[in-house]
Amino acid sequence: MTLSQLVLASHNAGKLKELQALLGDAVAVRSVGEFSDVEPEETGLSFVENALLKARHAARVSGLPALADDSGLAVDALGGAPGIYSARYAGGGGDAANNAKLLEALRDVPDAERGAQFVCALALVRHAEDPLPILCEGLWHGRILHEARGAQGFGYDPLFWVPETDCASAELAPAEKNRLSHRARAMALLRQRLGLA
């Protein structure tokens, strides 16, 4: 697939900037916000299904190839929860409420059973009905701490222990996190598939 431009199925300016940096100058990235303020309902039962729903919606409203990601945290001891509900795990109360709920759910779980992974599923479609989307997944393995550490990042970063750096994700410099993260791993696969690696 050769692309000169694509639309990102996100209104997040930070994500747009990050994606443009990862793809380089060969592909111009535009926000779906240029075409519509409507966000599709995420009715999928997996990260991949939700990424595809968002990508197809962005392609439909823009008429351009579209890329979407769906990301979250899957905790082994919780059967993969919060999973696709990561952003609204505590009912829409935000990062602090989500983290508090996660800590409470794991209160009596020993360190050896606190394994978790951040998951990123990317879906790229040429058009809204594309029967051959490009799907790439990145996993970032770690474990859940007993209390928050660090001031960088967002979401569950303060609770996510990164074994290869021996610190919490929220203690990593942004450039280091972007090199190791689930999103970086999925983007590396996408770059390979697009011949940009």
Binding site for substrate: what residues are annotated? 10-15, 71, 154-157, 177, 182-183
Does the annotation mark 69 as catalytic? no
10 close to 68: Cβ distance less than 8 angstroms: yes
Catalytic residue among 25, 69, 70, 111: 70
168 CB-side CA count, 13 A:
19
**Cα–Cα distance measured from residue 73 to residue 83, given in angstroms and rounded to the nearest whole number:** 5
The annotation places the binding site at 10-15, 41, 70-71, 154-157, 177, 182-183
Residue 111 is encoded by which pair of tokens?
A: 């360190």
Sheet bearing 115-125, strands edge to edge: 28-31, 5-8, 66-75, 115-125, 134-144, 160-162, 167-168
The annotation places the binding site for Mg(2+) at 41, 70
> Catalytic positions, please?
70
